[in-house]
Amino acid sequence: TDSTEEIVNSLNQNGGLVHWVNIQTLDRHVVKAAEKIFKFHQLTTEDILNTNHLPKLDVFEDHCFLIMKIFTYSEGKKRFDYEHVGVLLFEDSLLLLQEYPGDIFDTVRLKIKEGSGSIRKGKSDYLFYVLIDTLVDHYLEIMEEMRERAERMENSLLEGEDSVTLNEIIKMKRQMNRMRKFTFPLITEVKKIKTEPPSFFDKSTLTYMEDVFDHLYLLNTNFEYLRERLMDLINLYHYKLSENTNQVMKVLTVVSTIFIPITFVAGLYGMNFQDMPELGWKYGYPAAMGVMAAIAGGMIYYMRRKGWM
Amino acid sequence: TDSTEEIVNSLNQNGGLVHWVNIQTLDRHVVKAAEKIFKFHQLTTEDILNTNHLPKLDVFEDHCFLIMKIFTYSEGKKRFDYEHVGVLLFEDSLLLLQEYPGDIFDTVRLKIKEGSGSIRKGKSDYLFYVLIDTLVDHYLEIMEEMRERAERMENSLLEGEDSVTLNEIIKMKRQMNRMRKFTFPLITEVKKIKTEPPSFFDKSTLTYMEDVFDHLYLLNTNFEYLRERLMDLINLYHYKLSENTNQVMKVLTVVSTIFIPITFVAGLYGMNFQDMPELGWKYGYPAAMGVMAAIAGGMIYYMRRKGWM
Amino acid sequence: TDSTEEIVNSLNQNGGLVHWVNIQTLDRHVVKAAEKIFKFHQLTTEDILNTNHLPKLDVFEDHCFLIMKIFTYSEGKKRFDYEHVGVLLFEDSLLLLQEYPGDIFDTVRLKIKEGSGSIRKGKSDYLFYVLIDTLVDHYLEIMEEMRERAERMENSLLEGEDSVTLNEIIKMKRQMNRMRKFTFPLITEVKKIKTEPPSFFDKSTLTYMEDVFDHLYLLNTNFEYLRERLMDLINLYHYKLSENTNQVMKVLTVVSTIFIPITFVAGLYGMNFQDMPELGWKYGYPAAMGVMAAIAGGMIYYMRRKGWM
Amino acid sequence: TDSTEEIVNSLNQNGGLVHWVNIQTLDRHVVKAAEKIFKFHQLTTEDILNTNHLPKLDVFEDHCFLIMKIFTYSEGKKRFDYEHVGVLLFEDSLLLLQEYPGDIFDTVRLKIKEGSGSIRKGKSDYLFYVLIDTLVDHYLEIMEEMRERAERMENSLLEGEDSVTLNEIIKMKRQMNRMRKFTFPLITEVKKIKTEPPSFFDKSTLTYMEDVFDHLYLLNTNFEYLRERLMDLINLYHYKLSENTNQVMKVLTVVSTIFIPITFVAGLYGMNFQDMPELGWKYGYPAAMGVMAAIAGGMIYYMRRKGWM
Amino acid sequence: TDSTEEIVNSLNQNGGLVHWVNIQTLDRHVVKAAEKIFKFHQLTTEDILNTNHLPKLDVFEDHCFLIMKIFTYSEGKKRFDYEHVGVLLFEDSLLLLQEYPGDIFDTVRLKIKEGSGSIRKGKSDYLFYVLIDTLVDHYLEIMEEMRERAERMENSLLEGEDSVTLNEIIKMKRQMNRMRKFTFPLITEVKKIKTEPPSFFDKSTLTYMEDVFDHLYLLNTNFEYLRERLMDLINLYHYKLSENTNQVMKVLTVVSTIFIPITFVAGLYGMNFQDMPELGWKYGYPAAMGVMAAIAGGMIYYMRRKGWM
């Protein structure tokens, strides 16, 4: 079949000391075929096929099994997707299974090329390190983009711009929560490599792994920071709305408080009683105007003192 | 009696290597009868009969005792019930006591049939694993349904639809809380099987139990996620309400601010003073109209600048 | 004195294998007298007399000292009181000191009678267990009553009834807080019996104590659950109030937005200018009425679309 | 100098088995002089002089060093001050350095006199215990005063009295926070005495110290309780304000909804159109009155049903 | 190049027992050159160049590597910057790399001069201590400035001044969060020196380090305190806004409730019905005035009793 060919193809393509096999589909038959070739546990297959599974790292006697997610975040598209990835590490080969065809291998290949000659001699464990490192760096980049976007939104709110809507903030919070859910377990899981490393894991690779732990810790800190930031953003939105409502109320109150009483006075002299002496007075009209001006002035004075005008 | 017959019946029906006994009532007399036959502790009986008891797992020398809940969640009915279940595991038999007659055994039987031949040789401990696994998977399904419903509600709110009411959200929160209360203790309790397994527990079954721990961890993570989601949902509802109140206030203020002052002007020239020169002017009426238009225009300009119109 | 008589009386009354002494006053002289007879530490006396002391359990070489509270909760009276209780357990006697005369002993005696014959052979340690068990069960009952009341209040709020006031909720929260303060330490304190049991404590009694730990854990879980519930209740009250304010505002805005503009139009034609051509028109009046109807209709259409009517 | 005299004076005054030295100033020269006489570390001096230092207990080989605060809380004055205190405990002497002259020694002296004869034989370690015990009791008293004041404020708010202002609550919260900041570390610090007691510390004194740990635990619990209480108080204030705003809005809405429509009707028949047939009708005026009454009645009925009147 | 000269220069300038090298740029070439001279790990170089890296302390066999931040906080400028600093400590030399040229060395040099003669004999480890101590003291000073500013803002709000804006509080919260993010990890990182000190670290220096731990603990406590304070500040702002809105509403309601009904009465007698008997009554006008006064009086009485006037 098409998928089996792909396996053979990758085996040939990477026929060096370490076999890299990249299966870019999570079709049950393909994974089952890989299970037979690489002889891993049936439950591992189930975990690979369950695309809702949380990240985890299982260390077995002769191999490791890692579940991770690849995220695609694009501010332009405002969509946020993730892809299920399973990695099986054996002494002399690495099997990467991912949901959709993607370019993650290109970045890894690039990183390995970038690495100095001394690094190239690395075995499958080093490849494993580069893979995790690439993904964690990728997470950090997405976090940084999110953080920058949150900062821009906060600045817009602080400057009183209308461009930030509640929906936008809420959607960003949802993205952050989903990403957190699918990366958080990794922080503890990857540590297993340190406490119980597989027999074929080189000590020097563990030194490199320290760098990954550092980055995972940074990721965790950045999540907490972004989370607080988004909470602050929502609160800020709410406070700004309260301030706006308060200001709207003030204008309504100022206008009503000035005009309602004097409208009453005008209404008073609009009554049609036959016997209203004021109406015949010579200065009746200017006097009424004066009374109204006095009332309005008093109200304005009162509200000025209150700081509402 | 009817219930004793049921016990005998189940014993016969499952007369293989492992005895499965399923008692579908928590009548005191029936449980007491089972206590005598299976020789478990009197306090165990009390725990089985106390339908408010939290989930727990007691590991004794020659048997295990597990308390769990079965939930029935149905979005259509909008009801949420739970059922008290006690499981007693002996070396060669398993006793399941549940509050109401139900179909949980069917699912378990199906799972066992699904399992490959190598699994069928399993003893009571494997049956125990399948039972717990079935229940935890069941919990996860309910969680997933809840999560989907919460997501639909959030989307409705974000799109400004009126279909989501506070009562609905609050009721869902209550269901989630109740479910959490009756599943949370399980997460720590089931771990006891690993730290102090009973003597007759097979090592291979413990490997399968790892899968249950994974799922319980996932359950816990999903609870936290759903909980945060419902909190966000309630807050979103509140923010949307504040936004709505703010908008209502703005309309009131706009209308009042434009019309109250000009109504005053109209009232002014409705006064009946004998000596009001403006009333006799040729262009008095258009002039008054002009003044009113100017006032209204000024107010509109002010509120446009404020962004209220 | 009267109190010394009471001691002697109780000693006689319970002249079996285990001496139960129940002192139903915390008068300093009485407690001091008991201190001399039972030879306990002077600081123990101070703790018994300090009715604000938190619950604790001190395990000494030849005796235990327990401080607990008895709560009286009555929904009818809406009062909530508690009573300071000290328990001293020796190998062959148990001394119970309580603030006011009460019926706790009756319940304990009943429990012991209920227990099967095998239990009656128990020594002071078993009596101690029954006493703690009785109190913890008592706490659980009060919790359950509180929970039911909170549920009733929540249902009333959800159904929009006016019967629930903020004051009622706040008072219930205070009661819960006070009860929590005086039972929470017990959860950790009673565990001391397990980690460092006194020499005269029978192993079988420790098995029974497991039941108490279970119930204390349940108590703790129920507290958390009730606490969250009361928080939710207060928030629900707040949300309902916001919803109500929003609705009140809507009615005000609807009425004002419809009538303020047309009142202005009416005011316009109530002006007394000599030269207002419209006033002389044949269909002036119906035309004005039409304009007003059009304005009102437009406003109604606008607010219908906004969903405010 | 004056301060050196003070040292000598105190040395003489307390020339018993244990030397008590009380320096009632934190002047650098005086403390430096004491450093030379008592031979403690230069960093200890720095900690004594740094009046912002948090409480701590350092246990050295031959002496202990304790930093605490004395609080002065007075509801009348509504001021809240604290004083920096350093205590140095040697095998045969105790050096107490405090910021301002005060009466703490009087209370300690009183406590020692109160203690029975067996206690008087105590060495410096016992004096140390009495000193800490006195301070912790002092903290508990202040906490109790605060709690009572908070309770009074809460009751006032619940009964709808206007006497409680937000400023008052906020100021109390600040006092509580400051006190918490400067007593909280003590809870863990004093425990050091138990885990690593200095060589000259008597075992019997450690038994007495248990009492201090108890009180510190109580202090901690009371802080949490008071903190929650103040939070509840602020929230209660906020809820009461919301309720008040809601009620104010209701009155405005009721009055506006009744009178705005009928004012429009009155305005309608105040128009000056020449051809308004209703004006000439015999029962035109009573009919208009009837229409207004009907409108007002309808509005009143609607708002009664809504529960706003 | 210019940067290499700088290295040589610093080496000469400090040609005593301990070499201090201060590189005031994080140019890749310069750091790479330093890497070759001082022979540290390539990953260390990466950490130095990554200016977003969180603080950390790595203890290697023959050297330590510390990452810290220097903050510049200036209330006047209202800007808040930070600078990335890397410190490499070897047995006989200390390498300090900082992002921008700055004066931190001056303060350190001053501190060393201030230290007594006995301290001057210190090796590189003592210099390391002084450096950390200087930075932590610097953090504490900034915290203190922030705390004072927050207190001034709180006092202004409590006294009802308008000078404090939400934007100002939010910006301060952001500064605090950023500072917290970049100092918090230090608290745990610096402890590593105690648990696994490098071989060349003198025991006496570790005693001095205790002082640093004390200050870091104080820093942590102060952060929590400031954080709570800023939260309280934001809440206070919100409460004050609610109070203000409530007061604005009250004035609107009072004015509307008094004038709207009496304006209706005036409008009533402004109607032009031919047959309105009241208009012809002798005391019709005073009677109407009386009715209006009665209505207004009733409203005023009602609102006085409610406490709204």
Beta carbons within 8 Å of D256's beta carbon, 6+ residues apart: C252, C255, C256, E256, E260
Please compute the mean of the pLDDT values over residues E97-103 and round it to a whole number.
Answer: 78
Please check whether residues D228 and D253 belong to one and the same domain.
no
User: Which of B273, B278, B299, B300 has the most A C-beta neighbours within 10 Å, making it the best mutation to test the interface with A?
Assistant: B273
User: Which of C35, C175, C188, C245 has the most D C-beta neighbours within 10 Å, making it the best mutation to test the interface with D?
Assistant: C245
Residues 224 through 243 of chain D touching chain E, CB cutoff 8 Å = 234, 237-238, 241-242
Question: Tell me, what's the pLDDT at E294?
Answer: 95
Chain segment A273-303, per-residue pLDDT in tens:
888 888 888 888 999 999 999 999 999 999 9
Question: Tell me, what's the pLDDT at D10?
Answer: 45
Distance separating alpha carbons of residues A95 and A37, to the nearest angstrom: 11
Please compute the mean of the pLDDT values over residues A181-190 and round it to a whole number.
Answer: 83
User: Which of B225, B268, B292, B302 has the most A C-beta neighbours within 10 Å, making it the best mutation to test the interface with A?
Assistant: B268
| Secondary structure class of D164 (helix, strand, coil) | coil
Q: What are phi and psi of A98, to 5 degrees?
A: -130, 160
Cβ–Cβ gap A245/B242 under 8 Å: yes
Nearest to A231 by CA among A303, A301, A173, A289: A173
Furthest-apart CA atoms within chain C: distance in Å: 115
Chain segment D177-221, per-residue pLDDT in tens:
888 888 888 888 888 888 878 877 877 788 778 888 888 888 888
The highest-confidence range among C154-158, C199-203, D142-146, D298-302, by mean pLDDT, is: D298-302
Angstroms from E247 CA to nearest CA on chain D: 9
Question: Tell me, what's the pLDDT at E297?
Answer: 95
Chain segment B16-38, per-residue pLDDT in tens:
456 778 888 888 888 888 888 88
Chain segment C252-271, per-residue pLDDT in tens:
999 999 999 999 999 999 99
Please check whether residues B136 and B272 belong to one and the same domain.
no
Distance separating alpha carbons of residues D191 and D57, to the nearest angstrom: 9
Which residue bears the tokens 């009548």?
B27
Q: C195 pLDDT exceeds 60?
A: yes
Does D1 lie at the interface with E, CB-CB under 8 angstroms? no
- Inter-residue long-range contacts of E297-301, CB under 8 Å, 24+ positions, other chains counted: E299/E257, E299/E258, E299/E261, E300/E258
Distance separating alpha carbons of residues E300 and E258, to the nearest angstrom: 7
Does E221 lie at the interface with D, CB-CB under 8 angstroms? yes
Chain segment C151-181, per-residue pLDDT in tens:
889 888 888 877 788 888 888 888 888 888 8
Distance separating alpha carbons of residues A101 and A72, to the nearest angstrom: 13
Residue C224's CB is within 10 A of a number of other CB atoms, namely 13
Please check whether residues B158 and B260 belong to one and the same domain.
no
The highest-confidence range among A71-85, E36-50, E289-303, by mean pLDDT, is: E289-303
**Which is more confidently placed, E230 or C202?**
E230
Residues 200 through 219 of chain D touching chain C, CB cutoff 8 Å = 208, 211, 214, 217-218
Q: What percent of chain B has pLDDT over 90?
A: 15
Please compute the mean of the pLDDT values over residues B196-225 and round it to a whole number.
Answer: 82
Angstroms from E18 CA to nearest CA on chain A: 30
Q: What percent of chain E has pLDDT over 70?
A: 86
Question: Tell me, what's the pLDDT at D116?
Answer: 45
Q: B80 pLDDT exceeds 80?
A: no
Give the sign of the dihedral formed by CA E292, CA E295, CA E298, CA E303.
Answer: negative
Chain segment D19-46, per-residue pLDDT in tens:
778 888 888 888 888 888 888 888 888 8
The HSE-up count of residue D143 (CA atoms within 13 Å, CB side) is 25
Question: Tell me, what's the pLDDT at A280?
Answer: 86
Task: Report the residue from E218, E228, E307 with minimal CB separation from D177.
Answer: E228
**Which is more confidently placed, A36 or D2?**
A36
Give chain D's length. Answer: 309
Residue of C nearest to B273 (CA): C272
| Secondary structure class of E137 (helix, strand, coil) | helix
Question: Tell me, what's the pLDDT at C257?
Answer: 94
Please check whether residues A155 and A269 belong to one and the same domain.
no
Question: Tell me, what's the pLDDT at E298?
Answer: 95
Q: What are phi and psi of D262, to 5 degrees?
A: -75, -25
pLDDT band per the 50, 70, 90 thresholds, residue B13: very low
| Secondary structure class of C275 (helix, strand, coil) | coil
Q: What is the ipTM of this complex?
A: 0.82
- CATH code of residue B285: 1.20.58.340
Angstroms from D230 CA to nearest CA on chain C: 12
Chain segment A133-179, per-residue pLDDT in tens:
888 888 888 888 888 888 889 888 888 877 788 888 888 888 888 88
Question: Tell me, what's the pLDDT at D118?
Answer: 41
Please check whether residues B228 and B256 belong to one and the same domain.
no
Residue D264's CB is within 10 A of a number of other CB atoms, namely 25
Chain segment A205-229, per-residue pLDDT in tens:
887 888 888 888 888 888 888 888 8
Sheet strands side by side (includes D19-23) = D19-23, D93-98, D79-90, D63-74, D56-59
Question: Tell me, what's the pLDDT at B113?
Answer: 64
Question: Tell me, what's the pLDDT at B104?
Answer: 66
Nearest to E151 by CA among E164, E136, E170: E164
Give the sign of the dihedral formed by CA E90, CA E95, CA E97, CA E102.
Answer: positive
Please check whether residues B117 and B237 belong to one and the same domain.
yes
User: Which of C59, C285, C295 has the most D C-beta neighbours within 10 Å, making it the best mutation to test the interface with D?
Assistant: C285
- Of C242, C264, C296, the residue at which a domain comes to its end is C242
- CATH code of residue D42: 3.30.460.20
Q: Which residues of B touch C137 (CB under 8 A)?
A: none
Give the tokens for residue B267. 């009232």
Indicate the average pLDDT of chain E: 82
Q: Which residues of C touch B168 (CB under 8 A)?
A: none
- Of D189, D212, D242, the residue at which a domain comes to its end is D242
pLDDT band per the 50, 70, 90 thresholds, residue D303: very high
Please compute the mean of the pLDDT values over residues D99-120 and round it to a whole number.
Answer: 64
Q: A83 pLDDT exceeds 80?
A: yes
Q: Please, which chains are in contact with C (at least 3 CB pairs closer than 8 A)?
A: B, D
Please compute the mean of the pLDDT values over residues B113-140 and round it to a whole number.
Answer: 72
Q: What are phi and psi of C135, to 5 degrees?
A: -65, -45
Does C53 lie at the interface with B, CB-CB under 8 angstroms? no
Cβ–Cβ gap A211/E43 under 8 Å: yes
pLDDT band per the 50, 70, 90 thresholds, residue D75: low
**Which is more confidently placed, D296 or C198?**
D296
pLDDT band per the 50, 70, 90 thresholds, residue A255: very high
CB distance B260 to C259 below 8 Å: no
Chain segment A107-126, per-residue pLDDT in tens:
776 766 665 444 445 577 88
Cβ–Cβ gap D221/C263 under 8 Å: no
Chain segment C99-121, per-residue pLDDT in tens:
887 666 677 767 666 654 444 45
**Which is more confidently placed, B296 or E98?**
B296
Give the tokens for residue E166. 């939400």
User: Which of A162, A245, A299 has the most B C-beta neighbours within 10 Å, making it the best mutation to test the interface with B?
Assistant: A245
Give the tokens for residue A104. 């993650």
Question: Tell me, what's the pLDDT at D19?
Answer: 73
Cβ–Cβ gap D238/E236 under 8 Å: no
Q: B118 pLDDT exceeds 60?
A: no
Question: Tell me, what's the pLDDT at C15?
Answer: 42
Beta carbons within 8 Å of C228's beta carbon, 6+ residues apart: B177
| Secondary structure class of C28 (helix, strand, coil) | helix
pLDDT band per the 50, 70, 90 thresholds, residue B79: low
Question: Tell me, what's the pLDDT at E128?
Answer: 85
- Of B198, B225, B242, the residue at which a domain comes to its end is B242
Please check whether residues E75 and E213 belong to one and the same domain.
yes
Q: How many helices (H) and strands (E) does chain B have?
A: 11, 5
Nearest to E299 by CA among E263, E267, E268: E263
Indicate the average pLDDT of chain A: 82
Amino acid identity, position C255? V
Residue of C nearest to D238 (CA): C238
Beta carbons within 8 Å of D129's beta carbon, 6+ residues apart: D122, D205, D208, D209, D212
Please compute the mean of the pLDDT values over residues E161-188 and round it to a whole number.
Answer: 84
| Domain containing residue E283 | 243-306
Indicate the average pLDDT of chain D: 82
Residues 107 through 166 of chain A touching chain B, CB cutoff 8 Å = 162, 166
Beta carbons within 8 Å of C49's beta carbon, 6+ residues apart: C26, C28, C31
Please check whether residues A190 and A81 belong to one and the same domain.
yes
Please compute the mean of the pLDDT values over residues A3-15 and round it to a whole number.
Answer: 46
Question: Tell me, what's the pLDDT at B256?
Answer: 93
Please compute the mean of the pLDDT values over residues D278-299 and round it to a whole number.
Answer: 91
Question: Tell me, what's the pLDDT at C205?
Answer: 81
Q: What is the dihedral of CA B144, B149, B153, B155, to 10 degrees?
A: 60
Question: Tell me, what's the pLDDT at B163?
Answer: 78
Question: Tell me, what's the pLDDT at B119?
Answer: 45
CB distance B213 to B194 below 8 Å: yes
Please check whether residues E56 and E67 belong to one and the same domain.
yes
Nearest to E251 by CA among B250, A249, B253: A249
| Secondary structure class of E30 (helix, strand, coil) | helix
Does C294 lie at the interface with D, CB-CB under 8 angstroms? no
Angstroms from E90 CA to nearest CA on chain D: 27
CB distance B172 to B149 below 8 Å: yes
Distance separating alpha carbons of residues A226 and D198, to the nearest angstrom: 47
Please name the helix (run of DSSP H) or strand (run of DSSP E) that holds residue E71, with its range, or none: strand E63-74
Please check whether residues E203 and E260 belong to one and the same domain.
no
Domain count, chain D: 2
Distance separating alpha carbons of residues C19 and C38, to the nearest angstrom: 12
Q: Please, which chains are in contact with A (at least 3 CB pairs closer than 8 A)?
A: B, E
Exposure string of B110-142, with b = 16+ CB inside 10 Å and e = fewer, is eeeeeeeeeeeebbbbbbbbbbbbbbbebbbeb
Question: Tell me, what's the pLDDT at D14?
Answer: 45
Please check whether residues B149 and B210 belong to one and the same domain.
yes
Please check whether residues D238 and D267 belong to one and the same domain.
no
Please compute the mean of the pLDDT values over residues A41-50 and round it to a whole number.
Answer: 85
Does D61 lie at the interface with E, CB-CB under 8 angstroms? no
Distance separating alpha carbons of residues C42 and D204, to the nearest angstrom: 14
**Which is more confidently placed, D79 or E87?**
E87
Indicate the average pLDDT of chain B: 82
